[in-house]
Amino acid sequence: MKLTIERKWKKAEYVIGRLYIDGMFICNTLEPTDRGLENKALPNKMTSPEWQTAEKEARKVKRLHVPGTTAIPTGLYTIGQNISKKFRGRRLYLRNVPGFDGIMIHEGNTPRDTAGCILVGENTQRGRVNNSKAWLETVNKMVMTALNNLETVVVRISG
């Protein structure tokens, strides 16, 4: 399964995007500020020269950003599921994001709710997503079904 997040509307405090699953538009996304970070490493190729470059960039990113206020680098990531203590249940996690830890796809409405993660919902108001819990349920159902069927799930973030 392939998820695609196209970052479309970049503002000073947030980015609104579009989430596609296997080419079909599902809903909007909300992330913190896009600072132009890029990851060219491929998932599961952690010994590649691209990954070594991504790790060097990650160290620079960690020095420059305040956690929770910077969107993750564009690039390709695998998705897995794990238990979130904060949300008290299973959540979708992006794996091996250089310079970032604990990046989830979860519910929330405003840039303050992202904590660096990706929120899903409807962008019907400037700077926020609405109906987030309903859209998260839709996304989770689709992605977790694929994961439970032992499919590899990846997300490409562009823009």
Contact 73, 99 (CB under 8 A): yes
- Write down the pTM of the prediction: 0.86
Whole-number pLDDT of residue 54: 65
CA distance 99 to 153: 21
Contact 74, 61 (CB under 8 A): no
Torsion of CA 102, 104, 106, 110, to 10 degrees: 70
Question: What is the pLDDT tens value at each position of the chain, 159 positions in all?
Answer: 999 999 999 999 999 999 999 999 999 999 999 888 887 776 665 556 666 666 666 666 666 556 678 899 899 999 998 876 676 777 899 998 887 888 999 999 999 999 889 999 999 999 999 999 999 999 999 999 999 999 999 999 998
Exposure pattern of 86-124 as b/e (b: 16+ CB <10 Å)? eeeeebbbbebbbbbeebbbbbbbebebbbbbbbbbebe
